[in-house]
Amino acid sequence: MANETLSLHISGMHCAACVGHVEKALRRVPGLVKAEVQLTEHRAQLELLPGWQTQHLVQALHEAGYEAPLSSATLWVEGLREATELPRLEAALQAVPGVLSVSVNLAQGSVRLQALPSTPAASLLTAAQAAGFRASLQSLSGGEDPLAAEQAGLRRDLLLAWAATLPLLLPMVGMPFGIHWHLPAWAQTLLAGFVLVVPGRRLLGSAWRTLRAGAPGMDLLVSLGALRSEEH
């Protein structure tokens, strides 16, 4: 069988050092032949041996402080009547490349799955049919472009940060003209704390994850600088 290719979105990469950390983590994944990590695209192009398992990829990235966004899908399954049929259906769906987890609800005749966004819905339906069941897609969430969603979140955080920072910067504009006015100290503290905790939560979270994984990067340095500034 020919090797399989996979384009995998990775969240949490913000600097060149992250590329090395991700590549090192991916090299530990069983079945990986080659990995090319693209920082600007927040993506890795992978070549994998047949039979690779999604949980190994997701776990390796998570342990290194990064995440692979997942999609959720719900299938209606006809002909699912006995508990003894569950293992056959679960095994068939779990074997589909890109599927991370499968949960079958016998009473409702439905299956809840978590999978990589690149997993085709047709592959899930074909796998169910091969196991002796007729399935249809009820719902699919998280199928939007993960990079676009992440960039939209970053833009939203940037706007929030600017909105809270401008009241701190504007008084400085008047200083050359002899205008000396500042917000009360408590208001300055609240605004600075808001920027650090709300828009800055991505940075702090990424710094903590990479530190916990033993692979600190630029996020940690920036976070330490921001926290040090907040003390003053």
Digit-coded pLDDT (tens) for 165-190: 898 888 888 787 777 788 888 888 89
Output 38 or 202, whichever has higher pLDDT. 38
CA gap 15, 208 in Å, rounded: 15
pLDDT of residue 114: 93
Residue 230 CA: distances (Å) to CA of 174, 182, 196, 225: 24, 17, 8, 9
- Report the sign of the C-alpha dihedral through residues 30, 220, 208, 155, in that order: negative
Rounded to an integer, the average pLDDT of 63-77 is 89
By CB atoms closer than 10 A (0-12, 13-18, 19+), residue 215 is buried
231 pLDDT more than 70: no
206 pLDDT more than 70: yes
Q: Which pLDDT band holds residue 215 (cuts at 50, 70, 90)?
A: low
Residue 219 CB partners (closer than 8 Å, separation 6+): 14, 15, 203, 206, 207, 210
pLDDT of residue 230: 56
CA gap 220, 204 in Å, rounded: 8
Output 154 or 145, whichever has higher pLDDT. 154
143 pLDDT more than 70: no
Residue 4, beta-bridge partner list: 48
pLDDT of residue 147: 61
229 pLDDT more than 90: no
63 pLDDT more than 70: yes
111 pLDDT more than 90: yes
Eight-state DSSP code of residue 15: S
Q: Which two tokens stand for residue 203?
A: 């940075």
CA gap 59, 57 in Å, rounded: 6
DSSP letter for each residue of 135-152: EEEEEEES-S-HHHHHHH
The answer to whether the pTM exceeds 0.85 is: no
Q: Are 146 and 9 in contact (CB under 8 A)?
A: yes
CA gap 221, 232 in Å, rounded: 17
Q: Tokens 């002899």 belong to which residue? A: 178
Rounded to an integer, the average pLDDT of 180-208 is 83
51 pLDDT more than 60: yes
Rounded to an integer, the average pLDDT of 123-148 is 80
Rounded to an integer, the average pLDDT of 27-44 is 91
Q: What percent of the chain has pLDDT over 90?
A: 29
DSSP letter for each residue of 39-65: TTTTEEEEEE-TT--HHHHHHHHHHTT
Give the chain's mean pLDDT.
Answer: 84
